[in-house]
């Protein structure tokens, strides 16, 4: 009589919450790992760069640093995979980026990988499909969720809360009232981090036409000095003029560029509050949750409250404590809580 074989050990599941962002991609995993990487992907241009770099693909800050040797991609625009002329290349770069952030979550070979991936609140169906296509080769099952919804879900702020998630490509707004948000509860605009970069570059170019700078230099300046406060320390930066480092005072330019996203934010808040049930409008405008990388602009919560008081009579803004991981943490919590029928089987 043949010996009885022990029953097969069931595969474990690694749950991931992924915030796939235009500027930065973050993951929170059920094994306790949390990682973030700048959303850049690069491939060696030729045999010389391949020999120099000794890699087939580079990611994040390493890709940014070596970009002159690379076919360099920032595959996400306005929070979704870029389409158009280089759509296939951007899709490959996005797939490789998802693969890299999953690799950094350190899944075991015997684990199934289930991922909840954040997307802009009003991302179109084809945009969500493109994200799932990019994830297909790396995860066993996946679902897409609204980024501001995941931020609120992670903090258990699911009732009478208005969430603002400020990314690089989009600012997303979501009205939470104890149920899954519908399309009418969500607004997306493109007055976000990239818009601030563009405005800052225009203002510096207009005031100091002799100054030389790149998009990346502007982004680094903004991330270090961003503020909307009336009173702020002087911002003096060194920019080259025909190769010579030269000091430039850009205090007013920083403030003006950062403030350029505030009025559109208040417009969106006013829309979502103004067409809500009048009995609950006061509760909603006094629980505004501010998240995403853009929430780190100094004084932004105070300026939003000031403008809400002017236009809406009152307003209270609460900052998310972990803006880099707020969306990923919430997506992981959703992954744990979602019934099996909500998951889309990819492979």
The more confident residue out of 10 and 320 is: 320
Give the C-alpha separation, 146 to 170, whole Å. 12
pLDDT of residue 173: 95
pLDDT of residue 290: 96
Cβ count within 10 A of residue 324: 18
Contact 147, 24 (CB under 8 A): no
Q: What is the pLDDT of residues 143-198, one digit of tens each?
A: 999 899 999 999 999 999 999 999 999 999 999 999 889 989 999 999 999 999 99
Question: Would you say residue 142 has pLDDT above 70?
Answer: yes
Contact 196, 219 (CB under 8 A): no
Tokens of 167: 């990314």
Give the C-alpha separation, 24 to 33, whole Å. 17
Shared fold status for 157-191+260-319 and 193-259: yes
pLDDT of residue 346: 62
Helices (H), 68-214: 87-104, 125-135, 147-154, 193-207
User: Average pLDDT for residues 268-275, to the nearest whole number?
Assistant: 95
Enter the pTM of the model. 0.89
Give the C-alpha separation, 175 to 272, whole Å. 7
Give the C-alpha separation, 291 to 73, whole Å. 26
CATH code at 193-259: 3.30.420.40
Tokens of 23: 């500027």
pLDDT of residue 79: 77
Integer CA distances (angstroms), 153 to 17, 157, 327, 338, in order:
12, 6, 9, 12
pLDDT, averaged across the chain:
91
Q: What is the pLDDT of residues 65-104, one digit of tens each?
A: 999 999 999 999 887 888 877 889 999 999 999 999 999 9
pLDDT of residue 347: 55
Helix (H) or strand (E) holding 81: strand 80-81
- List the domain boundaries for the chain: 12-152+326-345, 157-191+260-319, 193-259
Give the C-alpha separation, 287 to 300, whole Å. 15
Q: Has domain 157-191+260-319 been given CATH number 3.30.420.40?
A: yes
CATH code at 12-152+326-345: 3.30.420.40
pLDDT of residue 236: 97
Q: What is the pLDDT of residues 294-339, one digit of tens each?
A: 999 999 999 999 999 999 999 999 999 999 999 999 999 999 998 8
């Amino acid at each position: 009589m043949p010996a009885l074989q022990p029953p097969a050990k069931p595969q474990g599941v690694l749950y991931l919450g992924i915030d796939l962002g235009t500027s930065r991609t973050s993951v929170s995993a059920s094994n306790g790992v949390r990682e973030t990487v700048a959303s850049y992907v690069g491939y060696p241009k030729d045999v010389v760069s391949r020999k120099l770099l000794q890699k087939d693909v580079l990611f994040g800050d390493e890709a940014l640093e070596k970009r002159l040797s690379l076919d360099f991609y920032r595959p996400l625009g306005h929070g979704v995979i870029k389409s158009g002329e280089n759509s296939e290349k951007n899709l490959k770069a996005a797939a490789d980026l998802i693969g890299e952030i999953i690799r950094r979550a350190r899944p075991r070979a015997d684990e199934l990988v289930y991922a909840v991936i954040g997307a802009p609140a009003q991302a179109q169906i084809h945009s969500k499909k493109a994200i799932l296509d990019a994830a297909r080769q790396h995860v066993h099952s996946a679902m897409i969720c609204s980024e501001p919804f995941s931020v609120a879900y992670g903090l258990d702020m699911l009732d009478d809360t208005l969430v603002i998630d400020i990314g690089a490509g989009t600012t997303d707004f979501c009205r939470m009232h104890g149920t899954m948000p519908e399309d009418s509860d969500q607004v997306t605009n493109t007055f976000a981090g990239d818009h601030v970069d563009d405005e800052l570059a225009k203002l510096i170019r207009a005031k100091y036409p002799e100054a030389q700078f790149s998009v990346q230099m502007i982004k680094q300046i903004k991330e270090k000095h961003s503020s909307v406060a009336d009173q702020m320390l002087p911002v003096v930066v060194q920019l080259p003029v025909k190769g010579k480092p030269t000091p430039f005072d850009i205090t007013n330019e920083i403030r003006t560029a950062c403030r350029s996203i505030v009025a559109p934010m208040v417009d969106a808040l006013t829309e979502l509050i103004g067409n809500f049930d009048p009995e609950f409008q006061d509760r909603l405008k006094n629980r505004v949750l501010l998240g995403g990388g853009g929430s780190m602009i100094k004084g932004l919560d105070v300026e939003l409250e000031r403008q809400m008081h002017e236009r809406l009579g009152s307003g209270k803004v609460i900052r998310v404590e972990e803006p880099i991981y707020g969306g990923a943490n919430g997506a992981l919590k959703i992954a744990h809580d979602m019934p099996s029928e909500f998951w889309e089987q990819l492979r």
